[in-house]
Structure 1
Amino acid sequence: MGTRGARSARRQVRQRIDPVRSLLIATAALCAAGSLVWTFLTGFAEPRIALAFGILIALGELARIALPGQREVSPIASASALGYTFLLTVGADPVAQGAAQVIAVTAVGLALGELPHVAVGRIPRWGDLARRLLVIGLVALAFRPLASVLGSPEPHWWLALTAMASIVMLSWLADSVIAAVLRAERLRTRFPVAFRDEVRAQFPISVATGASGILIALASSVMGLAALLVFTAPLIVTQVAFRRFAEIRLTYLQTVRALSRVTEVGGYVETGHSRRVSRLAHAVGCELGMRESELLELEYAALMHDIGQLSLRDPIPSGATVLAPPREQRRIAELGSAVIRETGVLDNVAEIVRRQCEPSAGEGETGPPPLASRIIKVANAFDDLVGESTDRDRIEAVLQRLRMDTDREYDPDVVAAVARVLDRPRSRW
């Protein structure tokens, strides 16, 4: 438990020193501080309404969820903040909160929602928290000046709805851009790839959040503050569904990781081999611009790439398949692929494992193996020859050996990517 906590703390330290993330956090902190000072100096408009929305934002942040891909979202808090931003009237009474007050209420609500997490030792993901605040700030700066023009939504509700929906879409794109920049920096991958991954991953939850925020604002004109409870309830159901999906995905990955250790426990490969190959393969996949779904399959395949060794009567010394005859390597890969296919849901992973021993140009008419297979072939060979050693001369000698075989066995682009990854500190991949 102590080791896991120390590892988490080191990860948070690395996040803090990322330049883009640091700039984002500093900008959000300045916006929050400036908005709070301005609001206190000019006074709160409709403090009862601000308090109601602030409490719901805090409760939503308390119930935030972590999605696959190390994404943290808070649908209820974001929908509540959007509802407060788009608020035109409550009942028959107009509201006049400015953009600064919206940012201030959101900042206080998010901070209060974080306190219980901090109290039990969970370090906040400051980058995700800052992103949520800045997106609401952008929406508030875009919409609140229009509020005085729109007035009550009843006579021209379609105009208010169009403005809200347009701003929500723009804010979703802005949020995707910010998230993609952070993801590209964290994973050292290409921005266009990270942007596509973020757009695809955030679209469902963003649609639910944006629609709920708009409904809360429009319904408040008729129902008053009761609209907060009525239109937050469907979002709670949606959040539960997303949480279960994330838990199932995490359980699936943990199961694969547990299966990958069977070869280590049985003495077929060195301890930590599958984990090291998976880690290096993932970093190389990011370097080469693989999509998130491809990276997940690569991680699964890298963790289970040696599972075919369980069929061997006599284990290969140190489990180094790179030293085995080519025919033996292919037999191990095919047996491992057959085992993985038995799951019924990992056919792509099984194909990656089956073709991991083929030359980079492929064999016969099948063409070159998938990129994931070529990455695993290089990552496995590197770890078989280097292991846990950090000796730079040994690493350079192994890289040179791999480069000498790029005319047939190893993909030269993959070998070059491995060299670039290894040039970074280990904490960066």
Structure 2
Amino acid sequence: MARLTRSRRSTISPHVQTAAKGQDMNAPDKNPPATLSDGVVDWLTNGTRDERFIDNIFAQMCLRLQQAGIPLKRSTLHVLIHHPQWLGARFMWSDGMREAEIARVDYDVRERSEFIGSPANEMFEGATEVRENLERDPALGRKHALYDEMRTKGLTDYVAWPLYYTLGKRHLVTFATDRPGGFNDAHIAALKKLLPVLALVSEIRIKNRLARTLLETYVGSHAGELILAGATRRGTGTTVRAAIMICDLRDFTKISDNWPRDDVIDLLNDYFDAMSEPIARHGGEILKFIGDGLLAIFPLSQPNACANLLHAVTEARAAMVALNERNNGSGRAPLNYGIGVHVGDVMYGNIGSTTRLDFTVIGPAVNMASRLEALTKQLGKKVLLSRAFADLVEPRFELERVGEHEVRGFSEPIELFAFEPGPTT
């Protein structure tokens, strides 16, 4: 996994120590003098409204700074995003690049040696500027691999500043040059003038991305897109014809009563990974996790939706076998599960109270999938399919007819099929 930077430790210049005692380096002067970056500031303010992604804006900003006469050779932007898997992201631009490189930052980065003493570490501890003269004898400054790396690339000066977001949240931007003598006072003044506008422009994009990420995380990508597009009115929705899959973990109450809490959480996460990743990979959408169960749909508007569902079940089964083998090595009992599958029309939309909504699917087809999942216990089958779903399945999938069975809540017996996926299904 990519890290925040490959190297870190920094030297704070004496004038920065004074600034760190209270001066806000992002605060604009009441009557700021003209600088080399005025045109770039105007572009950031008025010319980026139609640009959605901060990495594109950042790369264009760096190119425009060069065109304005600032000898910029390298620049990075570090932001916290609090993704479920990553703490943040780093955008890096170097001379000659038309686009910024994006690297993800792990949650444990702050405990790593490459972070400790880095400019990011200095900012995290409250510094308002980090400046390093890369032309002087390295023995006179603090040791850090970041500075060694930049010296080998011919860079002569490096400066880092925090970007202040709403409520004082701090992110980080850095600039470096290969100009003999480093940045001069006019260059530094021009770069500082950018900071408040860059903070505003980047905060909007980062928060938009964060909102999208949160929705994708909690309601799924498709539902998230609908919500962002304005589908937030209670009771609104659309009718979708889909294959519905409901999965439930067996004996979870017994497990949760007897296992340590952290072990139970780890078990659930591993189980949901085994089930969820194949579903997403084959075009399914997980609408919710319900305790130890999940609800997913494969809209029939997608090509081969039913086949994709069975491919997902096949891969999930293999993942569960591998998980049970790992658990067996630690003395844990194997995990069992049941899956019910049906196809039909569902209402897909917003349901809930006036202040708390759930974007989900409801309808008799969902109830049928739930009842079939419950029947897997009684019939001793891991996967049960309704006749309506089986009729849409390609002949190459081998299904076992298990007869007609009464289904709670439905007046007529339902013909059921079992699916026992093999390694080559």
Q: With structure 2 as the length reference, what TM-score do the two structures score?
A: 0.26
Return the index of the structure with the highest Cα Rg. 2
Bigger share in helix: 1
Q: Give the TM-score, by structure 1 length.
A: 0.25
1 or 2, which has the higher strand percentage? 2
